[in-house]
Amino acid sequence: MHIFHLDGLTQLARIGDGVVNPKLRVDWPLCCGRGLCHELMPDVVALDEWGYPIVPDSLESHQVADAREAVRVCPTLALRLVDAPR
């Protein structure tokens, strides 16, 4: 599994080139639970009763660009896109 930390444009380009089955993952100790990712992707990320994100097991191809943006703007770098086997 390849994990891409999305804190730079070069890494974003790598994701666009290399991820074949991108999945969103949350680094829970880093997540502040304010739900910005949900605000950006309400059709992809739900919130639990405490305001923490619930991410889907997989992303549809049309959701990947929004997921990249959510990863980019996550204020605590808690969101990641990972390349997982199908």
When asked if residue 37 is in the footprint of ligand SF4 (CB under 6 A), the reply is yes
Tokens for 11, please give them. 């890494």
Q: Pick the closer one to ligand SF4 by CB: 38 or 86.
A: 38
User: Please, what is the minimum distance in Å from the beta carbon of residue 86 to ligand SF4?
Assistant: 24
Amino acid at 6: L
Contact 66, 41 (CB under 8 A): yes
The CA distance from 10 to 54, in Å, is 27
When asked if residue 35 is in the footprint of ligand SF4 (CB under 6 A), the reply is yes
Site stretch for ligand SF4 (CB under 6 A), options 1-9, 14-22, 27-35, 58-66: 27-35
